[in-house]
Structure 1
């Protein structure tokens, strides 16, 4: 299968777990992720996980902190982050610290993406020391269908989605923001053993449905629709790869 072809349909309902209340979703997702981490620890003695930022994950991260996990055996990173100091409100690293790490008696080893003054090459080398692939990677999605830092309006989106690129980390920026971002590139995301999309609200579900409808209507190359709806580059391809053990799941709550 070529890099720009895949099944032109994504059975969204088949991979989705839907809830009315966000708190109910957060509890279920925390149990799911904790189970995946514990399974990895039993099988390999260590687990790795990547989380996303924004306001959506807060309830889930707090619920995860209440689960029984040997965090001393877990290594944590972020799917993406803004190039801002960890003390700033818009830092995903700060969110993770407040919503998860501060609630844990035993801390995991954390690998931030952004370190002030560090070059992209040094970041790449440092992140390569993580136990990859991730046992679990939890994504979010914006109203523009971006996930990770795969923005539809980014000048280098095609580079971020290039499947033949063996680099882990890329630098990008949405034209709507002045902040640079660091993000795991698509191949590194797809390599994860489990991929979960966590969204809430009717608007996000509508965006996801529109993306899937656009994918179903494509005749031929899907690259253009992937760049219009970057979430499809992840969900569509991970769904395609399920037989190879790379399943995707969508957790959606109707109410935020």
Structure 2
């Protein structure tokens, strides 16, 4: 990231802007920085001015406690301001839940696209999310960052042996470094269910995407998001899973953001 702006509470946000055209802000999900969206940004920058950023507490961005969903919405407001005062938003996974909340909060947003926001209406439901939240809060409160990361990986369905291998890998230290931000992603997911009342207030076009090779509950959640938004559209990217390929995603986003 080579630029910086300040959020409303003074938190420095690291971001990178590439390309020319209407502004688009890309928002990553849990346990990731803006760098994970660089390949997608490169493809979209042929037609748009694309901003990727490190969400607070990650990468080159700072953090100012206490964390709250409203602070991350203010972060997006600062980035939209840096983009010229209006932008379209794209968010993947829990980043999708964040951009939907930003649109519902009245930010100057043209269009919103999300990929597989993990609302659990058709998966584990609110009970599993509540148990995860309790355990995550306890682990982070006791400084057990590694255990917090493991809780998240379990929530995603990663097999125990793969988690054990991850703990022994060189990447584990970097994962522990941003483990406190798991609380931010958990907060933005709310009770874990599709926020239908909030989505009904979003007046801009919303595109909810899912992968054809992803679990059915993620596809149904994306479809529910589109159905709850007043101007929602649902689309499946055949052959894709939660780790969506930029080459499959970019043309669909470009068509949508071009209006």
Question: TM-score, normalized by length of structure 1?
Answer: 0.35
- Which structure has more relative contact order (CA 8 Å, sep 6+)? It is 1
More helix by share: 2
